[in-house]
């Protein structure tokens, strides 16, 4: 089967560590099917990084990633304003490359990853060429749009307009159904984990490699430095923990628009000497942080099923996370706290620091919930795409 993927959630020279969860699933899908990817890059990212070409091996904006052909057209839009027409900007930015892919690759189905503007644009372009289209929803693209406004309407349009919806959690699937998608068009496909990379290892050696050999308990946060991830809640909670006289060190792994603001907040909370912001981390080094960490904390305000928790599980690292989205699908209640509640989060962190527990006591992996590997996840996704394309043809919905 030939699958044309449209998504901005893919690494490029300007954003080399972007969306590793999406990249890994797409690369695994390419191992069992013919895949091409259109992954536009926002012009703002190119300007900020001073990037002239977004690929290392093709001046036309295309790259070959171990046999997977990826094109990177520039995505032009109006920053921070007119968000309701971002979908139209997205369409105009990739239309030429989309037409070339259809002519040369002849896809059987188009897969958009992220509801708006990516999926919305993929739907409109697929319809122009009489192609079936599926949408993969990730979490915040559906959970954070609200019920009003142009963006909310666009998300509803694409959810109801595509031939099939793939959700990364059961909670997200139910949300899509609640937004008007018929139940028979929604399937849940959990993300996978690279279990050859994320697995238990020597914690002492990991700490030594990362320069964190102190006996003081190490807490980590891994994620984007954006409001939805709740970094501000964690910083406030750590201020409370320090006020109780408990020792800890916290490393924030990740980058984003609010990184400087969060560093300043740590100063105001009086914990600047106990925290460190290390920026983005290549995927191949992430297992070191999980193994070195005594506790991972993810205080998000919204999530699908965050892969950072699954990867921590695979490494045997305990975590505390908020009870949002699909997180309860992979964790016991004892690992969960309410969102936007720094006092409760501080109390749970303090309890852990006073009486550390083994990983299996905190969050055993629920059997039957998550695919073990990215290969499993990709195989399930391919089955869904084959079903969507087959049903679409049987209904005679393709253009003559």
Strand order in the sheet with 218-222: 275-279, 249-253, 218-222, 295-298, 319-322, 336-337
Q: What is the pLDDT of residue 391?
A: 74
pTM comes to: 0.88
Kindly indicate the confidence band of residue 398, based on its pLDDT and cuts at 50, 70 and 90: very low
Q: Which two tokens stand for residue 166?
A: 């793939």
| Domains of the chain listed by start with CATH number | 2-192+373-394 (3.40.50.2000), 203-362 (3.40.50.2000)
Instruction: Please state, as a whole number, how many other Cβ atoms lie within 10 Å of the Cβ of residue 55.
Output: 19
Q: What's the whole-number mean pLDDT along residues 29-56?
A: 80
Torsion sign across C-alpha atoms 187, 160, 145, 123: positive
Beta bridge partners, 34, equal: 2
Residues 6+ apart with CB under 8 A from 47: none
Which tens digit of pLDDT belongs to each residue from 221-243?
999 999 999 999 999 999 999 99
Predicted pLDDT of residue 59 = 45
Spatial distance between the Cα atoms of 246 and 272, rounded to a whole number of angstroms: 15
Q: Where are the beta strands (DSSP E) in 66-217?
A: 68-71, 74-75, 109-113, 133-137, 164-167, 186-188
Averaged pLDDT, 169-191:
96
* Exposed/middle/buried for residue 43 (C-beta within 10 Å: 0-12, 13-18, 19+): middle
Does residue 387 surpass a pLDDT of 90?
Answer: yes
Q: What is the DSSP string of 301-369?
A: SS-SS-HHHHHHHHHT--EEEES-TTGGGSS-GGGEE-TT-HHHHHHHHHHHHHS---HHHH-PPPTTT
Six token digits for residue 229: 């991830």
For the segment 56-68, the average pLDDT, to the nearest whole number, is 70
pLDDT band of 66, cuts 50, 70, 90: confident
Tokens of 325: 């989205």
Rounded distance, CA 47 to CA 21, Å?
25
> pLDDT-derived band of residue 400, with 50, 70 and 90 as boundaries?
very low
Q: What pLDDT shows up at residue 50?
A: 57
What is the pLDDT at residue 48? Answer: 65
Q: What is the pLDDT of residues 70-92, one digit of tens each?
A: 999 999 999 988 988 999 999 99
Please check whether residue 96 is in contact with residue 60, taking contact to mean a CB–CB distance below 8 angstroms. Answer: no
Q: How many CB atoms lie within 10 A of CB 388?
A: 24
Average pLDDT, the chain: 90
Q: What is the pLDDT of residue 357?
A: 58
pLDDT in tens, 312-330: 999 999 999 999 999 999 9
pLDDT over threshold 50, residue 254:
yes
Question: Tell me: the pLDDT tens digits for 112-154?
Answer: 999 999 999 999 999 999 999 999 999 999 998 877 788 899 9
């Amino acid at each position: 089967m030939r699958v044309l993927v449209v998504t901005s959630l893919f690494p490029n020279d300007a954003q080399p560590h972007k969306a590793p969860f999406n990249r890994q699933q797409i690369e695994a899908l390419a191992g069992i099917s013919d895949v091409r990817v259109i992954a536009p890059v926002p012009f703002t990212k190119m300007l900020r990084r001073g990037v002239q070409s977004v690929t290392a091996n093709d001046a036309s904006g295309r790259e070959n990633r171990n046999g997977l052909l990826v094109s990177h057209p520039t995505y032009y839009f109006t920053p921070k304003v007119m968000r309701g027409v971002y979908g139209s900007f997205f369409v105009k930015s990739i239309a030429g490359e989309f037409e070339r892919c259809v002519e040369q690759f002849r896809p059987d189905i188009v897969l958009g990853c992220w509801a708006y503007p990516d999926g919305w644009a993929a739907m409109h372009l697929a319809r122009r060429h009489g192609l079936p289209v599926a949408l993969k929803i990730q979490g915040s693209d559906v959970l954070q749009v609200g019920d009003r406004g142009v963006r909310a309407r666009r998300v509803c349009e694409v959810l109801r307009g595509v031939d099939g919806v793939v959700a990364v959690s059961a909670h997200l699937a139910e949300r899509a159904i609640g937004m008007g998608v018929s139940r028979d068009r929604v399937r849940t496909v959990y993300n996978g984990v690279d279990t050859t990379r994320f697995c238990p290892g020597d914690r002492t050696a990991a700490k030594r490699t990362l320069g964190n050999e102190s006996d003081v308990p190490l807490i980590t946060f891994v994620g984007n430095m954006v409001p939805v991830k709740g970094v501000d809640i964690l910083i406030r909670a750590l201020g409370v923990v320090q006020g109780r006289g408990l020792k800890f060190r916290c490393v924030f792994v990740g980058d984003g628009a609010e990184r400087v603001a969060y560093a300043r907040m740590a100063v105001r909370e009086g914990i600047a000497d106990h925290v460190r912001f290390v920026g983005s981390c290549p995927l191949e080094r992430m297992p070191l942080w999980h193994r070195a960490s005594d506790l991972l904390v993810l205080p998000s305000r919204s999530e699908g099923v965050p892969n950072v928790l699954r990867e921590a599980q695979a490494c045997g690292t305990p975590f505390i996370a908020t009870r949002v989205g699909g997180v309860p699908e992979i964790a016991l209640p004892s690992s969960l706290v309410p969102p936007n509640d720094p006092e409760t989060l501080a109390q749970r962190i303090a309890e852990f620091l006073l009486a550390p527990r083994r990983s299996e006591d905190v969050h055993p992996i629920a059997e039957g919930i998550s695919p073990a590997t990215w290969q499993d996840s990709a195989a399930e996704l391919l089955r869904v795409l084959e079903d969507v394309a087959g049903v679409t043809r049987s209904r005679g919905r393709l253009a003559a």
